Amino acid sequence: MAKILKKTPDQLFSMKMRASQGGPHEEGGRHISGQERIVDREHLESCVHSMIERAHTHQRGFADFINIKIELIDLDEVAYKPILKFSEVTVHNLEEGRQAAFDELVAAGVSEKAARNGIDAILALPDSMRGAMIMDAVSGERLDNLGMRGVRVSDMDVAKPEDFKDALDAIGLTSEHAREAMVLAAKVASSEDSVAELCWSDDPQYTIGYVASPKNQYRRIPYLKPAGDMLGGRVFYVKPGTDIQKYRNYMEHQITFITANEDGYITDNPDFEKNEIVGN
């Protein structure tokens, strides 16, 4: 893996931000925004600055509570995982988008019942959660017992920012949203217990979502909610019998760097053409 980081900085820090409105999340505050990064010492301050900026300018509202946690990471504990291959489903409206999400989940190995339950579970949320629900990919039962908190994937970032940016630029993905989603989805899919992930954003202007899986990789779906809707969410589908505590521990604490493909492309479909991207 020497190819990935030519010179690893002596110290790297895991940074986590969570922001809410109406007090801290654990005291009933409404989730506004979150972010997780891994940066070297030199970038700590600028990262804190951009995290505050994000929390205070988010379209979901002004955060009156911001928690930023900075921890030195153990460089012996780092895992490298590949980015997922990107492709996009063609849909023309919300109805087709939701149907595509269902179809993609089933194609990825989720049962029809669990696919339906996952979509319905996001739609039934009273507000956006801070993290994701974990759901059994066969029974469709929610397994995490973490209420509106859910499981928040963290301790992850891109291995080499320039390579990652080049790979995303090559297929026209330039937004911060896309970058972060590609990192998160790659970490989730890298667990041997993951079957699929369903996501759509809680940013009111961002109607895009995706289904990601080890089997079919990253399948972007352009319309999964109406523009202006502040409700989004994530469901991680796991194999029956998954040790949820272990799974959660991997998602929250395994230091993971996501690597871009060496040739700089992240789609294996030569005919790939982007749909019109909303908010990108």
Give the footprint of ligand AMP on this chain (CB under 6 A): 34, 36, 128-129, 131-132, 150-154, 184, 199, 201-203, 232-234
Which residue number, 36 or 104, has a Cβ lying nearer to ligand AMP? Answer: 36
Which residue number, 46 or 59, has a Cβ lying nearer to ligand AMP? Answer: 59
Provide the minimum distance between the beta carbon of 20 and ligand AMP in the complex, in angstroms, as a whole number.
12
Q: What angle do CA 271, 106, 119 make, to 5 degrees?
A: 105
Distance CA 81, CA 186 (A): 7
Which residue number, 128 or 259, has a Cβ lying nearer to ligand AMP? Answer: 128
Task: Kindly give the pairing relationship between strand 30-40 and strand 12-21.
Answer: antiparallel
**133, β-bridge pairs:** 235
Which residue number, 129 or 167, has a Cβ lying nearer to ligand AMP? Answer: 129
Instruction: Decide if 137 contacts 195 (C-beta within 8 A).
Output: yes
Which residue number, 93 or 205, has a Cβ lying nearer to ligand AMP? Answer: 205
Distance CA 19, CA 46 (A): 18
Provide the minimum distance between the beta carbon of 119 and ligand AMP in the complex, in angstroms, as a whole number.
14
Provide the minimum distance between the beta carbon of 254 and ligand AMP in the complex, in angstroms, as a whole number.
13
Provide the minimum distance between the beta carbon of 236 and ligand AMP in the complex, in angstroms, as a whole number.
8
Strands (E), 22-171: 30-40, 65-72, 79-82, 86-88, 133-136, 156-158
Distance CA 188, CA 105 (A): 15
Distance CA 280, CA 276 (A): 9
Provide the minimum distance between the beta carbon of 152 and ligand AMP in the complex, in angstroms, as a whole number.
4
